[in-house]
Every structure is written in C-alpha cells, then in structure tokens.
Amino acid sequence: MNYKLTRIAPTPSGFLHLGNVFSFLLTKALAEKAGAKILLRIDDLDRERFRMEYLVDIFETLDFLEIPYHLGPKNPEDFLVNWTQLNRMDLYNKALDKLWERNLLFSCTCSRKKISQMDSSGYYLGHCLDRNIPKNRKEAAWRINTLQEELISIRDLKGNKTETILAENVAFFTVRKKDGMPSYQLSSLIDDLEFGVDMIVRGKDLYTSSLAQIFLAHSIGNQNFEKIGFHHHPLLKSEEGKKLSKSEGATSIRFWRENGKNLSEMFTMIGKLIGSPDPIESYEDFKKVVLSTI
C-alpha cells in the first residue's frame, strides 16, 4: 500500500540508543517502500527530562545515520523557534476542551504510589471517576473515561483491520498531566492529525498506546486516525537479551560516534542483535533483510 507521510518521533529525554536507531532505519525502509515522506517530529513536552544536549544528540544521530527527512526542524535552533510542541499548546487545549464538553474527562488527584497501593496490578481502576474533583484543582491530572469504549479497529500497513479493546494498562489514561501539560497520548495524536501522518512505525511496547490514541481520536470526533497504517516492530534487545534504555553506555549512539566507530560497524551490530542470517554492513543490506520479514 502507498502512504503519504510517516514520522520519526524521538524524545529529548536521554541519549538515543541502538534501539531508537533500529526504529528510525526501519521507518526509513518502510517509508521508501510505501512512497511516504518522513517528518521529524520531536516530542518535547516532558519538560522535567528535557535537556539541550539530548536535543542536539537527535540531530547528530540522524546526521550520522544519513537519514534524510523531508519535513521538520533543520537543527536544534530551528526546532526551538519553529517546531517545539509548546507552539501547539492551543491545539492540544482545544482538544481537551472538546473532551470536557463531551463529558468524557474527570480530574484525578491520585499519586502514583496510591494507584499502586489500590490495586496490585498497578493499573488505575477509575478511583476518581465519580469524585467530581473540580477541573481546576491544583495538582490534578485529567483522565478520560474509558468505560464508554467500543471496539477499536486498528490497521496494519497492508490495510488489514483488527478489532480489539483497550488494554488494562491504558484504562482511564491521562490526557493532561498534573503539571498542566498535555499527556504523550494526547499530544502525539494531535500532532499526527495536524501534520497529516498516515503511516506510523513504532515499537511493540507502544501497541496499547496506539489503541489508546485511536480511542482518543474517536472521542474528539475524528475518524481519520483509524485509517492510519501501523507497524509495531519488536524491540531490539542487548546481546545479553536485556531491554535497551536511554543511557550513556555502550549502546548509546553518542558513545558510538565518540569512539570513532563507523556506520558499517553499527549496521553489523544491529544485524547481530536482530539475528540476521546474513551479515549486514550497510543500509541497503539492512533494508533487504528487514523488508523480507514484513
């Protein structure tokens, strides 16, 4: 199937690692196959974890990887002036207003600790749903009532639909955080709609987020989001089989660059981590191997 626009959506909350790079390269390969352009969309609303050096790292990594993109900030300065999500607060707030108007939100003052104490699953079970905490209460998060849920339909890149329901880990998910900022689920959805993204490539760990975002799109009365083609890829694990995390360690691309490693060595490493039967030394090798499995 052909698509128009996909995106690479890193967060400047840590140094990028091989797992991020794998996701970017896969996005590039799938975009080329589908004839889609690439938008660089940096999610910078996590103000507590935002650091300038992480932002710079995103641009240096994309440059190192030779991943061109067609739309988005050209450098950190351009990002801070023209592309920061802070510029789109009006859009996010409009969506939040709509959700309040439709009576779909409630305020929640539960702390993370309290939530984990209330149920051993750690999932939020709607404790504040009927407490009618005022909307403007300080230190209150806004959550969405997911009890109104219907079947959610999600498409893969071939256009095949799966009908499913929201997972427990996103029950009553947050749409505005306690600090007054829109949540990841809300800002990510609104941005994708705003830019006209029709193809999303992301890790399997975000599958339940994709469902939450389709649900959220319906809740604000938008039917376009469910037409998006999704691909959720397996997460790259370390050689010891551990989850990669944002760090300064051996899997960070900054470490890789600063130690004079070249791109071909990085592809060899990725080839090993994805268990490729054939050696991978270049983007072309990578593309051939990954597209043969999708």
Question: Residues in the site for Zn ion, rule: CB under 5 A?
Answer: 108, 110, 127-128
CB-nearer residue toward Zn ion: 67 or 128: 128
Query: Shortest Cβ distance from residue 165 to Zn ion (Å)?
Result: 22
> Measured between alpha carbons, how far is 40 from 126 in angstroms, rounded to an integer?
35
CB-nearer residue toward Zn ion: 143 or 232: 143
Residue 169, classed as helix, strand or coil, is helix
Query: Shortest Cβ distance from residue 123 to Zn ion (Å)?
Result: 12
Query: Shortest Cβ distance from residue 127 to Zn ion (Å)?
Result: 4
Cβ pair 178, 144 in contact under 8 A:
no
Query: Shortest Cβ distance from residue 172 to Zn ion (Å)?
Result: 8
Tokens of 110: 């539960």
Give the amino acid at 246: K
> Measured between alpha carbons, how far is 204 from 216 in angstroms, rounded to an integer?
19
CB-nearer residue toward Zn ion: 108 or 166: 108
CB-nearer residue toward Zn ion: 133 or 294: 133
Tokens of 154: 């999600």
Query: Shortest Cβ distance from residue 108 to Zn ion (Å)?
Result: 3
φ/ψ of residue 150, rounded to 5: -115, -170
CB-nearer residue toward Zn ion: 116 or 164: 116
Cβ pair 233, 293 in contact under 8 A:
no
Rounded CA Rg of the chain: 20
CB-nearer residue toward Zn ion: 128 or 235: 128
- Extract the runs of DSSP E, i.e. beta strands, from the chain: 5-8, 37-40, 105-108, 141-144, 152-156, 161-164, 174-176, 199-203, 229-233
Query: Shortest Cβ distance from residue 174 to Zn ion (Å)?
Result: 10
CB-nearer residue toward Zn ion: 127 or 288: 127
- CA distance from start to end of the chain: 13
Query: Shortest Cβ distance from residue 207 to Zn ion (Å)?
Result: 25
> Measured between alpha carbons, how far is 219 from 104 in angstroms, rounded to an integer?
8
Report the relative pairing of strands 141-144 and 105-108 from DSSP bridges. Answer: antiparallel
- The DSSP code for 79 is I
